[in-house]
């Protein structure tokens, strides 16, 4: 791997502000975040390299937090694409809106359960990709089922849901809802992450 190919992390004051905000909210809501620090550049790259940016129109991200993956998506997205970031934490919503004033980004304070409602409200077509780092293993079974079923319904027929987790407990649910689930693994993350590529 060359220095040019290696994933780069945000530096300086902005990065420290991200880490501080993320860690503070982890201690307040540990079951909703699952990790004390944001995703590593290696995990971010493993996720986004699955996306065909040339043909996609709409990407939805659940639980963007401080925008670690959001920033990389925006960096790779061409003009005219839309990234819908759905976040329940008002501190993260405010941080994203202030730190990422990009016309391609729509930050919504709301649950992933309402993806279809939000796409319709914003006049957007079905999603080409849904990215989720929500800690499914800590969610109630009914909530987990609703999010997965609604995500499936919100995807285009050629779309995909990309799920990264620190536990494999969600895998049976993914296989029950989606017709095809590929499993991957990223060791260079705290904690090491399992990555699932799910198709309708």
Give the per-residue pLDDT at 13.
46
Structure tokens that stand for 60 in this block:
């939805």
Give the per-residue pLDDT at 20.
58
Q: Where are the alpha helices (DSSP H) in 132-193?
A: 141-154, 171-177
Enumerate residue ranges in the chain where pLDDT < 70: 1-37
Edge-first strand listing for the sheet containing 155-165: 105-109, 82-87, 58-62, 127-132, 155-165, 193-199, 180-186
- Nearby residues of 58 by Cβ (< 8 Å), 6 or more positions away: 81, 82, 83, 84, 119, 124, 125, 126, 127, 128, 129
Put simply, whether the predicted model's pTM sits higher than 0.85 gets the answer no
Distance CA 93, CA 108 (A): 7
Domains annotated for the chain, with CATH where assigned, are 12-199 (3.40.50.150)
Give the per-residue pLDDT at 15.
58
Q: pLDDT tens-digit profile of 4-61?
A: 343 333 344 455 655 556 555 544 544 444 444 678 999 999 999 999 999 999 999 9
């Amino acid at each position: 791997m060359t220095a040019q190919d290696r994933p780069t992390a945000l530096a300086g004051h902005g990065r420290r502000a991200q880490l501080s905000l993320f860690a503070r909210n982890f201690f307040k809501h540990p079951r909703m975040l699952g990790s004390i620090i944001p995703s590593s550049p290696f995990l971010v790259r493993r996720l986004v390299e699955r996306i065909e940016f040339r043909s996609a129109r709409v990407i939805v991200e659940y639980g963007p937090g401080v925008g670690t993956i959001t920033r990389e998506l925006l960096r790779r997205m061409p003009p005219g694409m839309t990234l819908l970031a759905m976040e329940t934490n008002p501190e993260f919503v405010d941080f994203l809106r202030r730190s990422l004033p990009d016309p391609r980004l729509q930050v919504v304070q709301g649950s992933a359960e309402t993806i279809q409602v939000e796409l319709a409200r914003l006049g957007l077509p079905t999603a080409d990709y849904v990215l989720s780092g929500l800690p499914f293993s800590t969610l109630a079974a009914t909530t987990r089922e609703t999010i997965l079923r609604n995500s499936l319904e919100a995807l285009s027929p050629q779309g995909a849901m990309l799920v990264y987790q620190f536990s494999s407990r969600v895998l049976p649910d993914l296989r029950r809802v989606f017709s095809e689930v590929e499993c991957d693994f990223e060791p260079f993350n705290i904690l090491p992450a399992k990555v699932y590529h799910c198709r309708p």
